[in-house]
Structure 1
Amino acid sequence: MTETPERADGLTELTRRKVVVAGGAAVAVVGVGGGLAATAFADDSTTTGSASAAESSAAETCYALTTETTEGPYYIDADKLRQDITEDQEGIPLTLRLKVIDAETCKPLKNAAVDIWHCSALGVYSGYEGMGSGGGGTPPTGAPTDIPSGTPTGEPPSGGPGGGGGGHQEPTDDERYLRGTWRTDKHGYVIFRTVFPGWYQGRCVHIHVKVHVDGTWTDAGYEGGHTCHTGQLFFDEESVLASAEVEPYSTNTTTRTTLDEDTIYPDNGHEGGLLHLAYNKKNIAKGVHATLTMGVAPDETHDSTDTPPGGPTETATPSTSATAS
């Protein structure tokens, strides 16, 4: 680590690249109502992430690159241009506000296309309803009684174990709820309205996200350009436990993987996609506000072929046919 240069007056001079915060704590509240985390729900609110003097500062700071993670098998490039992706899905209302900045220059990325997609409260992805919870199908109820013989002569199924793995899976239906694309404004912000995601076997609660730049907005959608970030957004354990007390989440009997147990979460806080959350701790059913500033490298390409260095790909839980995504 290089030494910080000294100014002529003897004070320490910090370069912008040395002012790095984990994934956006300092700016997460700036421009989101000015004090959302502190005042959104008065005395009955709880906020996760960090609430510090830095959050009240209007000064922009540089950020570490938000961690790239695997795309998962269930991305659909449908160009559903909309901010409200709820459709008819039941669940706790979730307002997701993301800010996208160039991690090198700290400048906001305007007119970038941001995709998000996630499972329903019961762990089902639209476009893959035929595969059941998590896209992996319904596990068999009984053990096989016969012993297979011979050597398989056909090609193995694509996508890895359980039919999902880290490879893309073709949709099984035309449903597109809980999926959408919207553009960032001149300040780099994009807002989505959805529901708090549920869970399925093998994965913690999460939202998938992509950021596309250098393309063109048309009536048909976002065309051209390249994907500069592919990641996932995560929820802390306290909020997930609170959601599990509310219908329809309370009817989800699937064994839940915690944030600490998840093999995809990079375990590095907001830099890795851990959201800042604000909600009424006595009644989370009223709704949740989630924010995060994401630092990206707009000149780089990070698409579905990425695998984090040394990191896992998304594979099915060996003991079941449910797939992690």
Structure 2
Amino acid sequence: MTGSTENHQNQEGPRHKRDLTRRKVVVAGAGAAAAVGVGGTLAAGAFAGETKGKGAGAAASASSSAEACYKLTSETTEGPYYIDADKIRRDITEDKEGIPLTLSLKVIDSETCKPIRNAAVDIWHCDALGIYSGYESLSTGGGGAPTDAPSGTPTGTPSGTPTGAPPSGGTGGGGHEEPTDDERYLRGTWKTDRHGQVTFETIFPGWYRGRCVHIHTKVHVDGKWTDAGYEGGHTCHTGQFFFDEESVLASAEVEPYSTSTTERTTLTEDTIYDQSGTTGGLLRLKYNKKHIAKGVHASITVGVDPDETHDGTDDATQPSASASASAS
């Protein structure tokens, strides 16, 4: 990995004072209210969809460009099974069996729509049977359900031993679970490139009691990359990525997912996903509809506010089991 010591602010210069105006970006396309994300992915739902002219020359240019307003990607709870920046790597699969999944992310400033480079992006998720590494003793083998997983939202923030100093904002919160073992499969941290992009290799997640299929994520900025890992900075986004029902049903026909005896929570029943599409973390998926076992490519553009701190430990971001499915 790169041992760069440049931090986010040094690379982009002093940040101007953020205002309260609508976030805008010019994008190609006749009257298009969309923004291109990773690999040409349309970030549909990640913006307000409003357009307007650019002055005297607006009529002439309207056929080739339009302005689209981004929204922040939804913040969610961190959950009980986070371990700070433990593995600096892009391939997090290790020896876990499952449908190959390539996850391509693009991180942008939600106000300027500029890519955020050298951010540290964490992802972590359960295996095909709903078990999290680091917490295997809290999971039920075969059934895939963590024994302490409520029917709603898990809360709290476990701490771990990172490679190098962990980003700030990754610890604290009551009711968290401390790691119970040294396994770290399906966890990893990597940095965004100059285009704000980062790609992970993993497997399609399984499910466990009370939650739909999902991947956890954090975005850290203003820290430094060193030979030891990522140091300092703060967490500007804590969120989750979600999979549509069609893909999950298809995965359930493939081993080892098909051996799970755990009752599945659907996307519309989930108490964390806010039903807002891409803004809420719904992934864009590409795969062979007749043979999902060959692999899935998932992508999304994540809009963050790099000046804010969102570590996912605020009780306001952790709806209870009885909360509405539309809760953030």
Which residue type is aligned with residue 239 of structure 2? Answer: G
Q: Which residue of 2 aligns with 1:217?
A: 225
TM-score after normalising by structure 2: 0.71
Out of 272-281 and 297-306, give the one that drifted further: 297-306
Q: Which residue of 2 aligns with 1:102?
A: 109
Secondary structure class of the residue paired with 1:270: helix
Which residue type is aligned with residue 68 of structure 1? Answer: E
Distance 1:254 1:167 in 2: 24
Contact 2:129 2:206 in 1 (8 A): yes
The reply to whether residue 65 of structure 1 matches residue 65 of structure 2 is no
1:113-159 deviations in Å (ceiling 9; x for gaps): 000000000000000001113432699xxxxxxxxxxxxxxxxxx96
Are residues 49 and 278 of structure 1, via their aligned partners in 2, closer, same or farther at CA, if it must alter by over 3 Å?
Answer: farther
Distance 2:24 2:205 in 1: 35
Alignment partner of 1:26 out of 35, 39, 42: 35
Contact 2:85 2:122 in 1 (8 A): no
Contact 2:25 2:67 in 1 (8 A): no
Aligned residues: 257
State the 1:219 CA deviation.
Answer: 1.5
Which residue type is aligned with residue 23 of structure 2? Answer: R
Q: Which residue of 2 aligns with 1:118?
A: 125
Are residues 266 and 304 of structure 1, via their aligned partners in 2, closer, same or farther at CA, if it must alter by over 3 Å?
Answer: same
TM-score after normalising by structure 1: 0.72
Are residues 167 and 138 of structure 1, via their aligned partners in 2, closer, same or farther at CA, if it must alter by over 3 Å?
Answer: closer
Correspondences of 1:144-155 after superposition (within 5 Å): none
Distance 1:276 1:307 in 2: 29
State the 1:266 CA deviation.
Answer: 1.0
Correspondences of 1:228-239 after superposition (within 5 Å): 228-239=236-247
Contact 1:93 1:196 in 2 (8 A): yes
CA radius of gyration, larger in: 1
Q: Which residue of 2 aligns with 1:277?
A: 285
State the 1:307 CA deviation.
Answer: 3.7
Are residues 168 and 207 of structure 1, via their aligned partners in 2, closer, same or farther at CA, if it must alter by over 3 Å?
Answer: same
Q: Which residue of 1 aligns with 2:180?
A: 172
Alignment partner of 1:136 out of 138, 147, 151: 147
Percentage identity across aligned positions?
Answer: 74
The reply to whether residue 85 of structure 1 matches residue 96 of structure 2 is no
**Unmatched 5+ stretches in structure 2:** 1-20, 28-32, 50-63, 158-172, 323-328
Are residues 188 and 159 of structure 1, via their aligned partners in 2, closer, same or farther at CA, if it must alter by over 3 Å?
Answer: closer
State the 1:58 CA deviation.
Answer: 9.4
